Amino acid sequence: MAATRRRQLARGRYLIRPLGLAGSRWEAAAAGLYSLALGAVAGSEVLTPDDALSALGLPPLLAAIWTLSGPLAAFVSLLALGGFALVLAVEPSNRMTIISIGVAALLIAIAVRLYATNLAELLAVPRNHRLTRAKLPTLATADIQCYGLALLTRREIEVARLASQGYMASEIGDCLQISERTVESHLAHVYAKLGLTSRRELIRMSARLAGKQDQESSLIDAPAPAPPIVRPHAQANR
């Protein structure tokens, strides 16, 4: 599971999130780079009137619309529109081709921007909900965890405490001299009794599990009470 999580994080580094540069220190530099690319395409189109190179401006335009915030995305879009008008004015022979490219680019840009903004909002909502649930647990969850600790066996407490400290099932099994399958079975019982759904929630209960295990150990290690002393006069009265 840990290896799978690391692979997912490694792949996530190369994904370009919608509006991923919005508000970052690299946003202005990226906007300048997109604008420079659009200017280069427009200049190349003017210098080569016999070739239709306007379509080369679509990648930087879409990149700006996908990654930048509203104001900078609008600035780059206006710059692209100005370059399109310039090319359209200096190349009357390719006017129909340029107009076709411009209309297609406009429709694609609108669709990409709508998709990027909606996807960015969709990705932000679950994260906020998770933070809210983590900071504000319900009373029902608190009751389940409070009374669930009393239902755990000593072995389940030992397994849960080691798991809450970040140990894997194989490591817990080696420590307690039990099989990995037994460890997973104990963890399943712990999750059910405490109403937990993830290892992260179990880690947050690490301190309470440690206190519960210390309490169990003190009860087991406590010396047996001494038998009552029978006084001689009490035996005589009997």
In terms of domains, do 143 and 47 share one? no
In terms of domains, do 78 and 158 share one? no
In terms of domains, do 79 and 147 share one? no
In terms of domains, do 72 and 145 share one? no
Backbone angles phi, psi at 166, to 5 degrees: 100, 5
**Whether the model pTM is above 0.75:** no
In terms of domains, do 106 and 180 share one? no
Residue 157 falls within a domain, yes or no? Answer: yes
Q: Each residue of 91-104: pLDDT tens digit?
A: 777 788 888 888 88
Number of domains comprising the chain = 2
Which of the four pLDDT bands, split at 50, 70 and 90, describes residue 3?
A: low
In terms of domains, do 21 and 117 share one? yes
Residue 127 falls within a domain, yes or no? Answer: no
Residue 11 falls within a domain, yes or no? Answer: no
**123 Cβ contact list (under 8 Å, min separation 6):** 17, 18
Domain that holds residue 160: 139-217
In terms of domains, do 67 and 113 share one? yes
Q: Across the chain, what does the average pLDDT equal?
A: 75
Predicted confidence (pLDDT) at residue 71 exceeds the cutoff of 80: yes
Residue 114 falls within a domain, yes or no? Answer: yes
Looking at residues 157-179, what average pLDDT do you find?
88
Which of the four pLDDT bands, split at 50, 70 and 90, describes residue 164?
A: confident
Q: Each residue of 190-199: pLDDT tens digit?
A: 888 888 888 8
Residue for token digits 């906007």?
31
| Separation CA 157–CA 216 (nearest Å) | 9
Burial 211-230 (b: 16+ CB within 10 A, else e): ebbeeeeeeeeeeeeeeeee
Residue 182 falls within a domain, yes or no? Answer: yes
